[in-house]
Amino acid sequence: MLKAHEFTDGETLRQQRNLTQNQKKNNVNTQEGVLINNYYKPDFTEISDTLIISDNVSLPETLNEKPRKDKNLITLSAVSLGVMCVIAGFTHFISKNTKTIAQSDANKLLPTLTRNVAINEETHQAIYRMVHNPNRQTILAGSGVLALTVTTFIAKTFLDGLKEVWVKKREADIQKNLQESLIAVETQTFSGKMQIIRNMLSVYTKKFQENLNAITPKPAFGNNEKSPAKDENNFKYALLGLITFGGILALSFLSIKNLSKGKKYLDKNTETLKNSVDEIIKTSTSKTLEHDKELLKNIFSALGTPKDYIKSSLKKLNWDEKAISEFETELTRSSAKVERAIGGDGSDKPTFYSHVNDYRAHLYNYLLDTDNKQFKQLFFGIFGVTALGYTGKLIGEAIKEVEVKKINAQTELELQKRLVSTELRNFKNKKESAINPLIEEFDRQFALGKPPEELKNLADSILFEIKNGAPFVYA
């Protein structure tokens, strides 16, 4: 288009010579505006074909979706009020209970409860002995236990750290090998995406060529994907179900058979124990009274027999009536007696007892009596077994963690290999979702009878979009 300042007619040149610079500028702008308004008509057909711009494209429905209301503060407020309601209800219960105690008869109140203090840690037991009876032996033995505790803690910390360092180094090697192996998987994925793009370019190029060579319009390009094949494993699944069901029936029959055998063994054992009771009844005397009591306790406990059988058996014993009555009461009592050393006397005063299951207890015993060689051997034997056991446990755990990490890495690698096909299908579906609307637009314009030149430009733009558009290969 010829611009106003390029005009060569004489009148325009004469006017330009007699005008100032500002007047020349305004005159040129005015003439350009008049020319554009009268002769230039904007046409977006070419750019629409190049960029594949459709006439009517609606916005996504989710664009104007209203955001959900934030209920986090409401939930927080409800939880806070709920907790305070629970606290208020509990304080009301305490207040009501206090009022009930004040109005109740003293004979109907709950009994006092003795507070039993168990000292099961060897260090606590050693300190208790030093506080209770500070002398040379208890202080020496307690100091030895404390020193061994510190030494064991330091050794344990060192071994734990050594294990963690070794496992971490092995984990780094495993991760490096995993990343090395994943390169091939990622390369396979990348190659698959490129192959999908080449396939789409080939398919759609043939389609465009056929459409452009045809005289009459052809229907819209459809989806070439094959319908999913029918599941051919139904027979295998049915067979597996029958085998499983048959196995369950067989195992159930075997379990019932085993229980029947177990019942026979129990009946036979019960008969043997009852015969033992009869033998004790025949041979029991006043001299063997205490020994026979222990035997009968164990036998009756193993039999789990009813009280009638116990009474009938005890009547046959050659004991005096008082001993039989006391023994019968002891056997049929619903609860056992509690030792005063553990249960106390029923008052609110605390009672102390010690039940130690610790290798350091043997060192304490040895330091109390260093002349006892068996205490010494017992300590070193149990301490050695404990140390070896802990070391072996650490080694086993370290090896287990490393092997688990190896297996997990292998599982991750296998998963990534299996996900290659999933990622490729995902890529293909997304690519088709971006291209299909463009193909539909091409078919629509083809059906409207657009010239081959314009359809060719449109097809070129679609092929360019297939090759370089989203989703991208590197995503």
Positive/negative CA dihedral, 405, 406, 407, 413: positive
- Residue 36 located in a structural domain: yes
- 189 Cβ neighbours under 8 A, 6+ residues apart: 420, 423, 424
Averaged pLDDT for residues 259-278: 74
Q: How many domains does the chain have?
A: 1
Local confidence band at 119 (pLDDT 50, 70, 90 cut-offs): confident
Please give the structure tokens belonging to residue 399. Answer: 């090896």
Buried b (16+ CB within 10 A) or exposed e, 185-213: beebbeebbeebbeebeeebeebbeebee
Does the pLDDT at position 325 exceed 50? Answer: yes
Question: Are the beta carbons of 298 and 277 closer than 8 angstroms?
Answer: no
Local confidence band at 229 (pLDDT 50, 70, 90 cut-offs): very low
Averaged pLDDT for residues 76-88: 84
Does the pLDDT at position 99 exceed 60? Answer: yes
Local confidence band at 219 (pLDDT 50, 70, 90 cut-offs): very low
Which SS3 state, helix, strand or coil, does residue 155 take? helix
- Residue 234 located in a structural domain: no
Averaged pLDDT for residues 348-365: 79
- Residue 26 located in a structural domain: yes
- Residue 56 located in a structural domain: no
Q: In a 10 Å sphere around its CB, with 0-12 CB exposed, 13-18 middle and 19+ buried, how is residue 451 labelled?
A: exposed
Estimate to the nearest angstrom the gap between the alpha carbon of 468 and the chain centroid: 41
pLDDT by residue (tens digit) across 382-433? 888 888 888 988 998 999 899 999 999 999 999 988 888 888 888 888 888 8
Q: What's the predicted TM-score (pTM) here?
A: 0.48
- Residue 425 located in a structural domain: no
Number of Cβ within 10 Å of residue 8's Cβ equals 7
- Residue 37 located in a structural domain: yes
Rounded Cα distance between 320 and 471, Å, is: 99
**pLDDT more than 70, % of the chain:** 70
Predicted pLDDT of residue 408: 92
Across the chain, mean pLDDT equals 76
Does the pLDDT at position 217 exceed 60? Answer: no
pLDDT by residue (tens digit) across 329-340? 777 665 556 666
- Residue 232 located in a structural domain: no
pLDDT by residue (tens digit) across 45-64? 665 666 666 666 666 665 66
The residue range of the domain holding 29 is 4-41
- Residue 12 located in a structural domain: yes
